[in-house]
Chains A and B, each alone.
Chain A
Amino acid sequence: MDSGIWRKRPRVRHFGAINGRGLATFYRREVHRGFKIWGITLAAPAIRALLFAGVFTLVVGGSGKIALGMPFMEFLVPGLIAVAILERAFESAAFSMVYDKTEGIFGDLATAPLTPGELVVAYAGASVTGALIAGTVVWVALLPLGGQVPVAPLAVVYFAVSGALIIGLFSQIVGLWAPKWDYLAGVQTFIFLPFVFLSGVFFSLDQLPAALQPWARANPIFYIVDGVRFGITGHADANPLTGVIVTLVCIAVLSALSYRLFAIGYRFKS
């Protein structure tokens, strides 16, 4: 009797305001996608962070260089962790969507019983999950090279989650917009990477020429990196409260935009 044949007639499944099972299924699929290629999503960021840390250790090597009032490596390591979190978040939703587009199954989103809000939450949840795991892996990998146990764990958690959320939402928007891999790679190389690399990961902003400093402070990613660094080392460039406000505003704007794009079926319903 238990051979997989329907024993009862199939019934309509009812759900309330939120399709919890659909949400969980979609979230699981997205997270699983990231983990299936853990060599690329976890091991590679750890190797890259180790390379950067190793190269800077060798170049700076015992010259007693100080940044923001701490030894340079202590300054650098939280930045590298933030980069790993942000890169993983960027590569999550957008890559998944463009993959679905090239496979021709992206339109399935429009037929699944998921509201735009549920889609945004599921994609964003998967982005944050993947990014936090990548960040933890890189944190562990960098412990011997100047890493440390966070002095303000709550601040680390807040800025890591909000940073992953901001970039995860940005990634959704890019993924909806991009028709092909080329577009995605273009956004990554020409927009995302410059914003991340010039956000104070590798240098404190007072090392920049005075004319450029206000511009660097207009980069929201600066507040994420600075917040993570504050949580880990206790030293910050900007006021962490400013960072909290900036991140909250970014999350509100980006989630509204992403919600709107899913609601109108931007580039996937015609």
Chain B
Amino acid sequence: MADLMRKDTQTPAIDKTGMLLGPPVVRSIGVVNWRGLWTLYVREVTRFYKVGTQTLAAPVVTTLLFFIIFSVALEGDGRTVGDVPFTVFLAPGLIMMAILQSSFANTSSTIMVSKVQGNIVDVLMPPLSSAELTLAFAAGGVTRGVLVGLAAGTAMWVFAGLQLHDPLAIVFHAVAASVMLSLLGLIGGIWAEKFDHIAAMTNFVVVPLSFLSGTFYSIGRLPEGWQDVARFNPFFYAIDGFRYGFIGRADSQLWVSVTVMIVINAALFALVYRLFATGYKLKS
């Protein structure tokens, strides 16, 4: 008996087959519920990994298609952006576009599916704080974004030949952009009541913003007034900084894009935390 008492605060004794030896014990959780955090994160990653053809292979095919279209349609006449060939300029933008859309899709769909299937309560009930929920979901989206970025990047490297200028800028912007879109996806998923709403946000917000933020052109090509508008688009900084890491040339300053990404991510994290904490559209 004394032996069992002593084990109370530790993991319960388990035999080889996973059976409990003795009575179940209370698991004490510290400031952070690491095991819960990790469990939700693993669930999020498994969710997209199980349908890898759709979530990892499909974006690579789409990226390659875009690359072929734009390079065949526009490369022939020796088109350049600044002093780099158009294809070299284009490749990082396309990789970033795949990252942005994948991260958003991951977090928005996980919340939406749980809501529609009615099992969102299984995420809200466990001993996970709002911050832990935000962190685990966002980490899942970031993992998918970064994996898609790696896969699309490898494909681009094979077909277009990427150069590396500043790997740190590449990694920072890839991760920061994934975080931003994962958090936006969470907001979208919490807000949406039907799949149509998610589709609308993807079609009318995420895709246009990622198309129009300098993926395909330097914003110097825009008319004067629109250049200022483009600089209010956070996606622009994600793509611009990411591309700087490859070609060493940016429309904006590196420190500006880094600052913008950090500030926006902090604000979005606070907002998502608040949504989970108040239970907006999740708890009644």
Report whether A39 and B72 are in contact in the complex, using a CB–CB cutoff of 8 Å: no
Closest to A46 in B: B203
Complex CA–CA separation, A145 to B215 (angstroms): 20
User: Taking the complex as formed, is A107 at the interface, i.e. its CB lies under 8 A from any CB of chain B?
Assistant: no
A residues less than 8 Å from B212 (CB atoms): 51, 54-55
Task: Please encode chain A, from 180 to 206, with 1 for each CB lying within 8 Å of some chain B CB and 0 for all others.
Answer: 001001100110011001100111000
A197 touches B74 (CB 8 A): no
Is A58 an interface position by the 8 A CB rule? yes
With an 8 A cutoff between CB atoms, is A263 at the interface? no
- A182–B221 CB distance below 8 A: no
> A208 to B72, Cβ gap below 8 A?
yes
Interface string of A55-83 (1 = CB under 8 A from B): 11011110101010000000000000000
Q: Once the chains bind, are A197 and B217 in contact (CB under 8 Å)?
A: no
**In the bound complex, do residue B69 and residue A43 qualify as a contact, i.e. CB atoms below 8 Å apart?**
no
Contact for B53 among A54, A58, A182, CB less than 8 A: A182
Q: How far is the CB of B93 from chain A (nearest CB, A)?
A: 11
* B75 (CB) vs chain A CBs: closest residue: A207
Q: Which residues of A contact B79 (CB under 8 A)?
A: 59, 63
A40's partner among B86, B199, B215 (CB-CB below 8 A) is B199
User: Cβ of B211 < 8 Å from any Cβ of A?
Assistant: yes
Size of interface on B: residues with Cβ below 8 Å to A: 32
How far apart are the CA atoms of A51 and B66 in the complex, in Å?
13
Report if B116 contacts A (CB, 8 A).
no
Known contacts: A39-B200, A59-B221. The answer to whether A194 contacts B65 by CB under 8 A is yes
Q: Is the interface of A mostly helix, strand, loop or mixed?
A: helix
User: A39 near B51 (CB under 8 angstroms)?
Assistant: no
For the complex, is B58 an interface residue (Cβ under 8 Å from A)?
A: yes
B56 to chain A, nearest CB (A): 11
Lowest 10 CB-CB distances: which A-B pairs, in order? A44-B203, A203-B73, A189-B58, A202-B69, A202-B73, A51-B211, A203-B72, A55-B216, A197-B65, A58-B217
Interface set of A (CB-CB < 8 Å, partner B): 37, 39-40, 43-44, 47-48, 51, 54-56, 58-61, 63, 65, 67, 182, 185-186, 189-190, 193-194, 197-198, 201-203, 207-208
Residues of chain B whose beta carbon lies under 8 Å from any beta carbon of chain A: 51, 53-54, 57-58, 61-62, 65, 68-70, 72-74, 76-77, 79, 86, 196, 199-200, 203-204, 207-208, 211-212, 215-217, 221-222
Q: List 18 A-B contacts (CB under 8 A).
A: A37-B196, A40-B199, A43-B204, A44-B203, A47-B207, A48-B203, A51-B208, A54-B211, A55-B211, A56-B74, A58-B222, A59-B70, A63-B77, A186-B53, A186-B58, A194-B65, A197-B69, A207-B72
